[in-house]
């Protein structure tokens, strides 16, 4: 089972991510896209990636704003898997703009 990252480790990892914030209990990022279809397209790509990784973010869609939240629920905190998923989400968002 994955280990929960310390507050210091999460803070350090956040420095290498684009627009993410949070702490050991969860990290999140909101992005604004060109419109609702673009937001759904990004969510679709994230869903495919999440299935490949067998690790799924919480996703909230509000018109063209999408919020992603990563936490490993089974251990109650942020793990390396969450940071890796956040990096993949960053790549998807960058390619959508």
Q: What is the pLDDT of residues 22-67, one digit of tens each?
A: 999 999 999 999 999 999 999 999 999 999 999 999 999 999 999 9
High-pLDDT (> 90) share of the chain, %: 97
CA distance 80 to 10: 9
The stretch 1-14 carries a mean pLDDT of 93
Report the distance separating Cα 10 and Cα 71, nearest Å: 11
- Tokens at residue 89, please? 């989400």
Helix axes 36-53, 80-96, angle to 10 degrees: 150
Q: For residues 37 and 87, what is the distance between their CA atoms, to the nearest angstrom?
A: 22
- H or E stretch including 51? helix 36-53
Question: Which residues have C-beta within 8 Å of that of residue 7, sequence separation ≥ 6?
Answer: 23, 24
Give this prediction's pTM.
Answer: 0.95
């Amino acid at each position: 089972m994955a280990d929960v990252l310390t507050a210091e480790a999460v803070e350090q990892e956040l420095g290498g991510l684009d627009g993410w914030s949070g702490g050991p209990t969860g990290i999140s990022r909101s992005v604004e896209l060109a419109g609702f279809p673009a937001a759904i397209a990004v969510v679709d790509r994230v869903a495919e990636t999440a299935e490949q990784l067998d690790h799924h973010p919480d996703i909230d869609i509000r018109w063209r704003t999408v919020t992603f939240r990563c936490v490993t629920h089974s251990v109650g905190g942020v793990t390396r898997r969450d940071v890796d998923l956040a990096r993949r989400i960053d790549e998807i968002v960058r390619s959508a703009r």
